[in-house]
Amino acid sequence: MDKSGLAKFIIGDSLDQLMNIDPRGYGVSKILYDAARAHAGEPLAMLAAEKLRAAVRKGDTVFILTGFVLLPHKKAETDGFVGAMLLARALVAALGARPVLICPDECLEAAAGLAPVVGLHTYASPDIVNEYPYSMNVYSFTKDRAAAPGMADDLIARIPPAAVIAIECPGANRIGVYHNSAGMDVSNLEAKSDVLFEKIKAFGAPTFAIGDLGNETGMAAICDHIRRYIPHAADISGVDKCESKHSCVCGCGGGIAAATAADHLITATVSDWGCYALISSLAYLCRDYRIMHDHEMQREAMIAAPKFGLVDMTGRLEPSIDGFGPAYTTSLVTLMRECIKDSLMNEGRRAALFEKTLGRGYFKPQ
């Protein structure tokens, strides 16, 4: 490992730690991260950013899948969607990509409302997006399982993707049932976007996923770990029913664990936090900290989200993401952004320190 490799590793590790801060103290983020980190072998967000940057060239299309519809109001939540809009901005700024946002109908108004907040135009036609800068496509995806494969094939044929990223995107379990965090069946509420994710994977494009529980598209990369340790995730269908207290409450017996696996997985306390770590990692690799949005844009996006119908995990129409309001979330965004900014601005003047640290032998050559 040389000094640039050391810096990238430590910055990546720091971002992973920030996205997995657990103010609630309930431990799920650590359960997921330990498995995901062991699976990847290195910092998650930085690795995903490297793979994404290698796969996407200027003008390429990147699909972003998001939109978890919650009970009892049957409205989409802020987590995942706010991050997806900010990621779309970053993909344009960092890679010159053409983002295509795929979401349920409940998110369409929010997409139109948040796009100006993050500095993007929205268009229905991919041809216009290819022609106009700072723009993105937005499509709603079907909730009809039977119609999903055909719709997915049509989208891929019309707009071939270079990559797909799922953020807090509902994923069906092994027997096709979608669950919320309480283990309830919400299949009728959710867009069947995981079908599109699987189709893109078969198409040959790299797949990325961000989740914070295990019921999200892509999380099957660590499914055995999720089924063993996450509440409501045990799969008891056809096996020992004594584990029923650890499975879902809907009666399907399959548990909440999603059955779709991503090539590259990011786990975080809040899915949006994992998204911000990915954006920060892209900023670091592109040597431009401004690719990471600032606290003002974060605050504006959070304030706008409930105005267009998005709810917090509690069901409240308020500027909050998984129970964390603007004060906490903007502080986290600032920490991530300043981490990248400080590293990029001072890497030259700290070269001697890198050499001395490497010389002690703790960090082995790669």
Q: How far apart are CA 43 and CA 39, in angstroms?
A: 10
| Confidence category of residue 242, pLDDT binned at 50, 70, 90 | low
Residue 164's Cβ-side half-sphere holds a number of Cα atoms within 13 Å equal to 30
| Beta carbons of 283 and 220 less than 8 angstroms apart | no
Whether residue 210 has pLDDT greater than 80? yes
Question: Is the CB of residue 9 less than 8 Å from the CB of residue 1?
Answer: yes
C-alpha distances in Å from residue 166, one per residue of 22, 217, 333 = 22, 6, 20
Whether residue 364 lies inside any domain: the answer is no
Spatial separation of the C-alpha atoms in residues 140 and 144, rounded to whole Å: 12
Query: Quick check: 239 pLDDT over 70?
Result: no
Count of the separate structural domains present in the chain: 1
More confident residue, 285 or 1: 285
* Residue 204: inside a domain: yes
Q: Does residue 96 lie within any of the structural domains?
A: yes
> Cβ–Cβ contacts within 10 Å for residue 202, how many?
10
**What distance lies between CA 354 and its chain's CA centroid?**
32
Averaged over 133-155, what is the pLDDT?
97
Look up the CATH number of the domain holding residue 188.
Answer: 3.90.1640.20
Nearest to 318 by CA among 90, 75, 18, 19: 75
225-to-21, 39, 172, 248 alpha-carbon distances in Å: 20, 11, 17, 16
pLDDT at residue 59, as a whole number: 95
Asked whether residue 206 is assigned to any structural domain, the reply reads: yes
In a domain, 366, yes or no: no
- Would you say the C-alpha torsion 258, 264, 267, 271 has a positive or negative sign? negative
Range with the lowest mean pLDDT among 51-55, 238-242, 304-308?
Answer: 238-242
Summarize pLDDT for 74-104 with one digit per residue, the tens: 999 999 999 999 999 999 999 999 999 999 9
User: In angstroms, how far is CA 158 from the centroid of its own chain?
Assistant: 24
The answer to whether residue 171 is domain-embedded is yes
Is 321 a member of any domain? yes
Domain that includes residue 355, residue range = 3-359
What pLDDT, on the 0 to 100 scale, is given for residue 2?
Answer: 76
Round the average pLDDT of the chain to a whole number and report it: 94
